[in-house]
Amino acid sequence: MHFKVKTNKISHHPLNQEIYSLSGMDDLVLSIQDKGLLQKLIINQDFQVISGNRRFAAITKLGWKEVEVEQVQTNPDEELELLIHYNKQRVKTYREILNEIQYLYPKFAVGQGKRNDLTSVPENRSSTRDNLANHLGMSASQIAKLMFIQKHDPSYIDLIDSGEMTVAQSYQTISRWKNQKDAVESKKVITFPSSKWFTFHHKSSHQMDEIDDASVDCIFTSPPYWNKRTYDDKIHNLGNEKSPKDFVINLVTHLQDTKRVLKDTGSFFLVLGDTYLDKNLQNIPHRVSIGLQDEGWILRNTIVWKKTNPKPSSSKDSLSPSYEFIFHLVKTHRYKYQTLLTPYADGDAKGKGRVPRHRELDTEKMFRKIYPYVPSEGKHLQDYWDSDVISTAVARNSSFGDGVEHPAPFPEEIVHLPILMSTEEGDVVLDPFMGSGTTGRVANAHKRFFVGYDIKQYSSDYRTTVVR
């Protein structure tokens, strides 16, 4: 219903005053003074402004006695969403966005459903942050960062709104401060005896304050997989999220500090497997790789690792999974890369002089000298790695494990190639989810320094190969 009404009969909606600011209106006042009111105010049955609170404030400042309005019938349950809906196109401050999140969060909490429109409330099992993201037109990751900043130091929101800092910069700053504080108060840092070559930090790798910027040459890691097992850490409980989307967000967020510590010439190798939910394969590895690309990483290769002895499947209506992905990511196009070759097969015309096969080599002797055989002739290494490819590209030094028990170890054989591809002797290798120390043992065997992080200590003394 459209009609004119005296301005003194109209009032601001109380929720609007709590959520949105009326500051910085000089340009709007001048525009209305010059061109008039181009959009009608929308009011409810109580003559409270549902849409156009800033315009109402402007015409009040101009001294208007009467204004044309559109009146709609509302109920208290829908007025909050109506207010946010009508403010969707307006450029808002981050403070205002957080106010929206504060009011919407109880309505969009998981298990309470989500309104896809303003007339119905269908059931929705997606995460609370996803619900909020869809409604506010933002990414769930951005919402998570804003909520983190608001919780730990709300003063940074004003710095963001003033343009002095970005959301990402504020998040990183607060995260580092928080983790330094946590490390002092509750975390134990352990450096193992052979500190020159092997260093272990008994804490989460969410923030790796012990490592300088751009000091690591290679990162090789396999984080917890989603919904596979329950881990002990209650704070950084990766892998136990309510949904795959939440896991992807948390993992990508957790890995942000890896970009800081990695050199521009460095490489990041991420091993990740997939998970079924209601018989639906979730495509989690590629979701994570896309999330990392969105954070600025360059994806150079998706390597398929064919497992030698995959876990048997109990499923009667699907194929048994037998592979996982290894993503090779870099920060810049100037990354270090050592070309690796696989020997030509016996009898190949190109293989004159016959490149030795590893079955003919004394691997135990080579291990003692820590000089694995790497072919100087052969075919360029491809992105499908089975046991034969790995064993012929570089001698496997599988005899130096210490038998440490871990719920989800990966084999040493898949670590050799990434380290040799991306590093030289004396370089630094990092594993932010170290587990039983497989990456460190392989790195040491190739004369690389190693730094590892894990919230659990799987051995009282990680045996290392110390090269003098």
Nearest to 401 by CA among 468, 308, 464, 461: 464
User: What 3-state class would DSSP assign to 388?
Assistant: helix
**Domains in the chain and their CATH numbers?**
1-91 (3.90.1530.10), 95-184 (no CATH), 187-453 (3.40.50.150)
Nearest to 251 by CA among 166, 410, 140, 132: 140
- Note the pTM of the prediction, 2 decimals: 0.55
What number is the average pLDDT over the span 294-306? 94
pLDDT number for residue 186: 45
Calpha distance 290→192 (Å, rounded):
36
Is the model's pLDDT at 87 over the cut of 70?
no
Tell me how far CA of residue 75 lies from CA of 44, 45, 69, 99, 117, in angstroms.
9, 9, 19, 21, 15
Tell me how far CA of residue 151 lies from CA of 148, 154, 445, in angstroms.
5, 7, 45
Is the model's pLDDT at 349 over the cut of 60?
no
In the chain, the percentage of residues whose pLDDT exceeds 90 is 20
pLDDT digits (tens, 9 = 90+) for 58-79: 888 888 888 888 788 887 767 7
pLDDT number for residue 345: 59
**Binning pLDDT at 50, 70 and 90, where does residue 407 land?**
very low
Calpha distance 425→410 (Å, rounded):
23
pLDDT number for residue 313: 65
pLDDT digits (tens, 9 = 90+) for 95-110: 878 887 777 776 666 4
Is the model's pLDDT at 370 over the cut of 60?
no
The H or E element containing residue 439 is: helix 438-445
Beta-sheet pairing, 341-342 with 379-380? antiparallel
Position with higher pLDDT, 8 vs 100: 8
What number is the average pLDDT over the span 171-183? 74
